[in-house]
Structure 1
Amino acid sequence: MSNGRVWLAVHRERAALVRDLESMTVDLWSTPTACAGWDVHDVVAHLVDSARTTRLGFVRDMIAAGFDFDRQNARGVARERRAEPASTLAALRAVVTHTSTPPAPIATRLVEAFVHGEDIRRAIGHTGDYPVAETVQALEFQLRTSVKMGGGRERAAGLRLIASDAPLDVGGNSPAVRGSALALLLAVSGRPTRPGELSGPGTARLTPGSPPGAAPPGSPGG
């Protein structure tokens, strides 16, 4: 998939998230999300920081953070989280069409947009609408990437993942987990899924949550 198509999907998702946030009451910004220790406001601030991150800026931030992904992300949230949600939303609106990226594969931008978009939406009881082909690309990237680097390779090890809405079937004869590409992406990324979103004998093994010290999805820079 071309970089242009990836950026088109990312920009559309950022714009859709802005619209959703515009209709959200202020009190919901303090709702906890599936990102441990981060509320909705924190995740939005992280998305602003990620959208503004350049390759050189990422290197500088990592040096300042002592090469600690968690510390680097926390510093980014603190830098971009405004006193009022409306101001943080304005900052997100301003970066909708940015194409800045840390030194990471372009697929990390899809993971970043889709998984964190769902972190926000699911915290308040909603679900986004994501393009299936790009969701599969994000999922395939997560399956190749270690948990330590924000992926989900170890979570999916020994499992067969079958997408119900896309031609994705990986894992051979291992215990199967079936679900939409989005549900599989969330589970592989260490996110909880809703009852009934996943099925099959391998479902219980694809448990949510990241081990201590794991980087958020899409890292570096994610």
Structure 2
Amino acid sequence: MPRTAPQDVWPVVAAERRALADDLTGLTPAQWATPSLCAGWDVHDVLAHLLGSARTTPLRFLAGMAAARFDFDAANEAELRAARAADPEETLAAFRAVAGRRTGPPAPRDTRLVEAFVHGEDVRRPLGIPRDPPRDAVARALLAHVRSGQAVGGGRQRVEGVTLVATDTGLRHGTGPAAEGPVLSLLLVAAGRRAAMGDLAGPGAAVLAGRR
């Protein structure tokens, strides 16, 4: 399976940010308020989260965590609210302006791929906007995500005991009954987005469907 080198992560992330900004250009107020696949957030919220994440640095991340008493969800919410302008178009312009930034929290670089692909689908799917991102990079994101646990934002527990088989790449990961489907859908399911379960088939898909 093709792999991008570490230095190639940022160009992929930048391209995904710019593609998302293009896709969100011209949304109506009702579309901005559409619930995303990320529970509790609408489309504007997800964009604000991505903006805040693009602006962050390891030091800023740690300061935010300390201010939130090391509650990850509370820190995320505070960062989102700080980045979210009253006008979604203002948030969108700010997001487009930081598309090429190469900073982030103190985490492996592949998490930036996970964020770009998963949150991109969090807003595109409810809005009915299709995208076929680079599948080798999505496969890399999936492998990174399922190798870390949910305590640190990963998805290992969600897919344990199941073989993930991407029908559009050469990816095959895990042991047990197979869950087959597009690599992007496998990533979404591993990230807890049950809306993508309908894209999967095989006995392993039934196992995944029975999990939270």
Q: If the length of structure 2 is used for normalisation, what is the TM-score?
A: 0.94
C-alpha separation in 2, matches of 1:29 and 1:208: 32
Per the alignment, do residues 6 and 196 of structure 1 end up closer, same or farther by CA in structure 2, a change over 3 Å counting?
same
Q: Give the deviation of 1:126 after TM superposition.
A: 2.2
Greater Cα offset, 80-89 or 119-128: 119-128
Partner of 2:117: 114
Q: Give the deviation of 1:4 after TM superposition.
A: 2.5
Q: Which amino acid aligns with 1:190?
A: G
Per the alignment, do residues 208 and 42 of structure 1 end up closer, same or farther by CA in structure 2, a change over 3 Å counting?
farther
Partner of 1:29: 32
**Is this contact kept in 1: 2:197–2:209, CA < 8 A?**
no
Q: Give the deviation of 1:78 after TM superposition.
A: 0.6
Out of 115, 129, 136, the residue aligned to residue 139 of structure 2 is 136
Structure 2: any 5+ residue segments left out of the alignment?
A: none
Partner of 1:193: 195
**Is this contact kept in 1: 2:37–2:195, CA < 8 A?**
no
Partner of 1:215: none
The Cα offsets for residues 25-58 of structure 1, whole Å up to 9 and x where unpaired, read as 2220001111111000100000000000101111
The percentage of aligned residue pairs carrying the same residue is: 48
**Is this contact kept in 2: 1:34–1:191, CA < 8 A?**
yes
Query: Aligned-pair RMSD on alpha carbons?
Result: 1.5
Out of 175, 179, 182, the residue aligned to residue 181 of structure 2 is 179
**Is this contact kept in 2: 1:183–1:193, CA < 8 A?**
no
> 1:9-88 alignment to 2 at 5 Å?
9-88=12-91
Structure 1: any 5+ residue segments left out of the alignment?
A: 211-222
Greater Cα offset, 187-196 or 91-100: 187-196
The Cα offsets for residues 102-123 of structure 1, whole Å up to 9 and x where unpaired, read as 1000000000100000001012
C-alpha separation in 2, matches of 1:123 and 1:108: 23
**Is this contact kept in 1: 2:35–2:42, CA < 8 A?**
yes
**Is this contact kept in 2: 1:190–1:207, CA < 8 A?**
no
C-alpha separation in 2, matches of 1:2 and 1:119: 26
Q: Which amino acid aligns with 1:26?
A: P
C-alpha separation in 1, matches of 2:29 and 2:63: 34
The Cα offsets for residues 125-150 of structure 1, whole Å up to 9 and x where unpaired, read as 22322101110010001110111211
**Is this contact kept in 2: 1:190–1:209, CA < 8 A?**
no
SS at match of 2:194: coil
Q: Give the deviation of 1:209 after TM superposition.
A: 8.3
**Is this contact kept in 2: 1:192–1:209, CA < 8 A?**
no
C-alpha separation in 2, matches of 1:87 and 1:95: 13
